[in-house]
């Protein structure tokens, strides 16, 4: 593993630990005893590049870029198994979600993965109109992952709309300004 090669200087290391400790789910990051229970219990470990316990060690070592560009934070299924079993009460599930938001904000999210694109598009739509609009979400994801499939998806969308299964018209809630403030407070901000 390339862990040792990308260790940060001690100042950067401390900075990243402090940054993570301020994130939801990150306050106990230094309490981890590396017992590995989280990694051993994780149902999506097979699709991660670093196991949950490795990810924690990488945070402690200040490997900001490796952590934020990892597949691990996107492979997490937020099942809560690790958080429930952790003997030091680390809320790793919440931390994974916080790291996703930070990765998107810093433009470090795994560029090949569909999940970061989904996350970004989902929150952008909800932030702007206060509710999800499935056709917009589909178009944004397909455009970025498989543009050739757009025509096929459009046909299917029209069929579904005719049957009343989806609404093509995008609706907005009344108080989108209040919603924007909520996003600012929760640090979701502008995802564009
Ligand atoms: S279960 Fe908790 S203490 Fe054990 S390695 Fe995972 S996070 Fe650390
Ligand atoms: S919450 Fe995520 S990291 Fe924790 S066990 Fe479930 S899938 Fe694995």
- Compute the distance from residue 62 Cα to the ligand 2 centre, in Å: 21
Helices (H), the chain: 10-21, 37-41, 52-60, 64-68, 72-75, 81-85, 92-105, 114-129, 134-145, 150-162, 176-185
Q: Which of 36, 55, 70, 82 to mutate to test the pocket of ligand 2 (most atoms within 8 A of CB)?
A: 82
Please tell me if the CB atom of residue 81 comes closer than 6 angstroms to any atom of ligand 2: yes
Average confidence (pLDDT) over 6-10: 62
Where residue 190 falls among pLDDT bands split at 50, 70, 90? very low
- Compute the distance from residue 92 Cα to the ligand 1 centre, in Å: 9
Average confidence (pLDDT) over 15-43: 96
For the domain bounded by 10-105, which CATH number is listed?
Answer: 1.10.1060.10
With a pLDDT cut of 70, the percent of the chain lying above it is 90
pTM value? 0.77
- Ligand minimally distant from the alpha carbon of residue 37: 1
Average confidence (pLDDT) over 60-89: 96
């Amino acid at each position: 593993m390339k862990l040792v090669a990308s260790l940060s200087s001690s100042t950067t290391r401390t900075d990243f630990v402090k940054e993570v400790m301020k994130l939801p789910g990150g306050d106990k990051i230094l309490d981890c005893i590396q017992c590995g229970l989280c990694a051993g219990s994780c149902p999506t470990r097979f699709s991660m590049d670093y196991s949950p316990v490795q990810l924690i060690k990488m945070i402690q070592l200040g490997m900001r870029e490796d952590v934020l560009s990892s597949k691990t934070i996107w492979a997490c299924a937020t099942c809560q198994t690790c958080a429930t079993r952790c003997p030091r009460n680390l809320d790793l599930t919440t931390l994974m979600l916080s790291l996703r938001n930070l990765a998107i904000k810093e433009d470090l999210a795994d560029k090949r993965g569909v999940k970061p694109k989904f996350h970004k598009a989902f929150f952008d739509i909800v932030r702007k109109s206060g509710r999800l609009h499935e056709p917009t979400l589909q178009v944004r994801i397909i455009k970025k992952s498989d543009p050739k499939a757009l025509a096929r998806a459009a046909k299917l969308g029209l069929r579904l709309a005719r049957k009343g299964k989806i609404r093509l018209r995008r609706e907005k809630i009344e108080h989108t300004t209040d919603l924007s403030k909520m996003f600012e407070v929760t640090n979701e901000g502008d995802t564009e």
